[in-house]
Amino acid sequence: MNQLFDRLQNELKKKNINLSYQRLKVLEYLTQNQCHPTVEQIYTDLEKEISTLSKTTVYNTLKKMVSEGLVRIITIEDNETRYDINTHDHGHFKCEICKNIFDFDINMDLVLTKGLERFKILDRNVYFKGICPGCLSNSK
Amino acid sequence: MNQLFDRLQNELKKKNINLSYQRLKVLEYLTQNQCHPTVEQIYTDLEKEISTLSKTTVYNTLKKMVSEGLVRIITIEDNETRYDINTHDHGHFKCEICKNIFDFDINMDLVLTKGLERFKILDRNVYFKGICPGCLSNSK
DNA sequence: ATCTATCGTGTAATAATTACAAAGTTGTAA
DNA sequence: TTACAACTTTGTAATTATTACACGATAGAT
């Protein structure tokens, strides 16, 4: 399949994680839908294909992948946890009208961290909110 | 009382929001406890003083203040909404060991936003996770 | 003093997530 | 192949945070 997916499979093998059918499907879904889906979205879509799928399995799989560093949690809104398989540093922009989330490049090293010299930084997150070009032009 | 608090009172007057005793206490709490408390923390502490306080009131007050721009929601962990009365741009660092949240200065204008030229940015958030100096030295 | 709009309170409802136990699956070693 | 142990999946029940709602209380305007 695609590059990202091969890489994931390798990493899983290295970490001795079985790639069960359900896990495969969740990872495949995240790979093909890099729109930062919620558990609900993942479950609803996959359940069409795997009728026996349990939502708990989706939660379990995601928790595992997050703890292994293959998937990243995106927390923008307090009431919805989203998941992102693209773990390289990038920012997120959430449109307050259409609710879509857009990725954007960011150089985290340029983010000045005055006052954090003695802190050990393990994870950096940047997210903006506003209105996307599409919704901007619609509202004119 | 202090400057920030006077400013809040003025802004409320301008916006025609009554400063009821409960609202006053919530704002006072946020002013004196700039540790980004959760609703639970605010409620538990204030309830000692105001025995009739309802958690719904805390939620209502915070929602009102957020919508008026006097208080800002901090979303770092997906399962806990935190509130911050300090609305000038700054970053947040959450220690993964002691769970405390530290503020740090940040110049948002320096955060390069390649690819966002046509987006209208209304809100910028930066948060890091890692280990704070105190927990670092404890673990040695 | 009365009216009206706003506010606070408690309970019930909703939604997201986790805990748990039982059943199923896989890999390994005899 | 069989047996065993470890791991997965599943469904249900429990937990937690948040919201909805209805009713009583309050404050300001007339």
Q: Which pLDDT tens digit goes with each residue over A119-132?
A: 999 888 898 999 99
Percent of chain B with pLDDT over 90: 49
pLDDT of residue A1: 45
Q: Which nucleotide is nearest to B59 (CA to C1')?
A: D18
d(CA A69, CA B16): 49
CA distance B131 to B137: 10
Q: Residues in chain A whose beta carbon is closer than 8 A to a beta carbon of chain B?
A: 73, 75-78, 80-81, 91, 93, 96, 102, 104-107, 110-116, 118-133, 136
Contact B116, A94 (CB under 8 A): no
Q: Are B103 and B111 in contact (CB under 8 A)?
A: no
Residue A2 pLDDT exceeds 60: no
Q: Judge if B43 and B78 occupy the same domain.
A: yes
B8-62 pLDDT, tens digit per residue, is 677 777 776 788 999 999 999 999 999 999 999 999 999 999 999 999 999 999 9
pLDDT at A17: 78
Contact (CB, 8 A) for B52 and B58: no
- Name the more confident of B80 and B139: B80
Please write the tens of the pLDDT for every residue from A13-61: 777 778 899 999 999 999 999 999 999 999 999 999 999 999 999 999 9
Taking the C-alpha atoms of residue A38 and residue A83, their distance in angstroms, rounded to an integer, is: 6
**B44 and B96 in one domain?**
no
Determine the protein residue whose CA lies at the shortest distance from the C1' of D8.
A20
With 60 as the cut, is the pLDDT of residue A77 above it? yes
Range of the domain at A17: 3-84
Residue A6 has pLDDT above 50, yes or no: yes
* Res A5 pLDDT > 70: no
What's B125's domain CATH number?
Answer: 3.30.1490
Please state, in angstroms and rounded to a whole number, the distance separating the CA atoms of residues B78 and B95. 15
- Please report, rounded to whole angstroms, the spatial distance between the CA atom of protein residue A90 and the C1' atom of nucleotide D14: 37
Statement: residue A3 has pLDDT above 90: no
- Domain co-membership, B121 together with B79: no
Mean of pLDDT over chain A: 87
CB contact under 8 A, B75 and A73: no
Q: How far is CA B70 from CA B2, B27, B62, B88, in A?
A: 16, 9, 9, 10
Residue B114 pLDDT > 90 = no
Domain shared by B62 and B112, yes or no: no
Q: Which helix (H) or strand (E) holds B61?
A: helix B55-67
Phi/psi of residue A40, nearest 5 degrees = -55, -45
Domains contained in chain A, number? 2
Spatial distance from the CA of B131 to the C1' of D9 (Å): 35
Q: How far does A19 lie from chain B, in Å, by closest CA? A: 27
Q: Is the pLDDT of residue A112 over 70?
A: no
* Mutant choice from B39, B72, B111 vs A, greatest count of A C-beta within 10 A: B111
> Would you state the structure tokens that stand for residue A15, as one six-digit string?
């970490």
Are B38 and B73 in the same domain? Answer: yes
Q: Could you tell me the CATH number of the domain that includes residue B32? A: 1.10.10.10
